[in-house]
Amino acid sequence: MAQQATVSLKRTPLYEAHRAAGAKFVEFGGWEMPVQYSGILEEHKTVRTAVGVFDVSHMGEIEIKGRRALEVVQRLTTNDASKLADFQVQYSTLCYPHGGIVDDLTVYRLGAEHFFFCVNAANIDKDYAWIVEHARGEADIRNISPEIAQLALQGRQAQATLQPLCNVALDDIRYYWAAPVKVKGVDAVVSRTGYTGEDGFEIYCPAEHGPTIWAAVLEAGARYGIKPIGLGARDTLRLEMGYALYGNDITAETSPLQAGLSWVVRMNKGEFIGREALLKERAEGIKRRLVGFEVLDRGVARSHYRILADGQEIGEVTSGTMSPSLNKAIGLGYVRTEYAKTGTTLQVEIRGKPAQVQVTSTPFYPSQVRKA
């Protein structure tokens, strides 16, 4: 009799803390992760109005070191990492030669010969192999993901929560910058970054100290109503901002130009993987674009639902939800470029029936990130 195959899910260093907090778990990118604690709606509103803490230790960290580290980073990524100062952070993409997206990521410069990439959890092994292949032995590449716990503290009370635990003034860390910080006495890298549209920080620390910092943050934030936040609210928060999710809104079959990420593609920086294909696509005209839309009728658009114009299929939904902040159904999807203009009325086929939708600009919800 054939044995049923079982897949062993990975767990973060904070798994026991989540279980003790009553988390409901879900499989995500090969990990057993908390999808919610008190409830997605309540958790979402906590981040929008106060502060929440996320375990994002499933995300990957890949270190690039050596005399030619910058050269390797420039070859791999579409943005211009030569513009980075020490402890500056940059959003970017890795592309295939045909222009499709290997992954989206944040690039941290920790020194002239020391960078690390924060990559998506489901892509760690793929990204690491890709980076090693295209580094061509010119830099020391290490997948340090198992050594790192990552916490995201997000919301208007994030700084007030974290500051008492730190040995540096968090006010000095600007948006998309980082600093070496002792958090509760633990050596960490703290950046003013996030995936929610709120002010906040991401904390990278040794994996074994993750539970200590998690507990300290929850204790420090208690006066502000802090809650642990699961992946469910992480998704609704990012979708209200129009942030792309790899595997849904961006894939190997979509280019950064189609996905509205041309701002992270620096054609004039010199050669990088995918540049020729992206130059060609730009010259020939981008055939489809990722757009935001609001559902005007009843119903919620979900991934892979068809987008129609006058009954003809012209695109596909990639993400959709009922926005807790706006109390309306919103989504992202690809449409042929001629239908991508803001204000265009289209239809999404929801349970076999066309529902009216309107193309809208993103973010759907105003960004609260502190850019000053």
State pLDDT tens for residues 224-268: 999 999 999 999 999 999 999 999 999 999 999 999 999 999 999
Predicted confidence (pLDDT) at residue 5 exceeds the cutoff of 60: no
Contact 233, 37 (CB under 8 A): no
User: What pLDDT, on a 0 to 100 scale, did the predictor assign at position 322?
Assistant: 98
User: What pLDDT, on a 0 to 100 scale, did the predictor assign at position 141?
Assistant: 99
From CA 284, how far away is CA 130, in angstroms rounded? 28
Closest residue by Cα to residue 306 from 350, 339, 250, 256 = 350
Spatial neighbors of 18 by CB under 8 A, at least 6 apart, are 25, 34, 37, 55, 228
From CA 171, how far away is CA 132, in angstroms rounded? 37
Q: Which domains does the chain have, with CATH numbers?
A: 15-57+147-240 (3.30.1360.120), 287-360 (2.40.30.110)
What is the number of residues in the chain?
Answer: 372
pLDDT tens-digit profile of 174-211? 999 999 999 999 999 999 999 999 999 999 999 999 99
Predicted confidence (pLDDT) at residue 298 exceeds the cutoff of 60: yes
User: What pLDDT, on a 0 to 100 scale, did the predictor assign at position 67?
Assistant: 99
Question: Is residue 155 classed as helix, strand or coil in its secondary structure?
Answer: coil
User: What pLDDT, on a 0 to 100 scale, did the predictor assign at position 222?
Assistant: 99
User: pLDDT category, 4, cuts 50, 70, 90?
Assistant: very low
Task: Give the mean pLDDT of 217-227.
Answer: 99
pLDDT tens-digit profile of 306-364? 999 999 999 999 999 999 999 999 999 999 999 999 999 999 999 999 999 999 999 99
pLDDT tens-digit profile of 118-152? 999 999 999 999 999 999 999 999 999 999 999 99
Task: Give the mean pLDDT of 106-110.
Answer: 99
From CA 140, how far away is CA 136, in angstroms rounded? 10
User: pLDDT category, 371, cuts 50, 70, 90?
Assistant: confident
Locus of tokens 């375990």: 55
Locus of tokens 């904390």: 203
Q: For strand 52-55 and strand 227-229, is the pairing parallel, antiparallel, or unpaired? A: parallel
Spatial neighbors of 310 by CB under 8 A, at least 6 apart, are none
User: What pLDDT, on a 0 to 100 scale, did the predictor assign at position 372?
Assistant: 65
Question: Is residue 320 classed as helix, strand or coil in its secondary structure?
Answer: strand
From CA 192, how far away is CA 25, in angstroms rounded? 28
- Percent share of the chain, pLDDT over 90: 98
Q: What angle do CA 230, 328, 50 make, to 5 degrees?
A: 40
User: What pLDDT, on a 0 to 100 scale, did the predictor assign at position 171?
Assistant: 98
Q: CA dist 338 to 9, 310, 334, 344, Å?
A: 43, 14, 11, 10
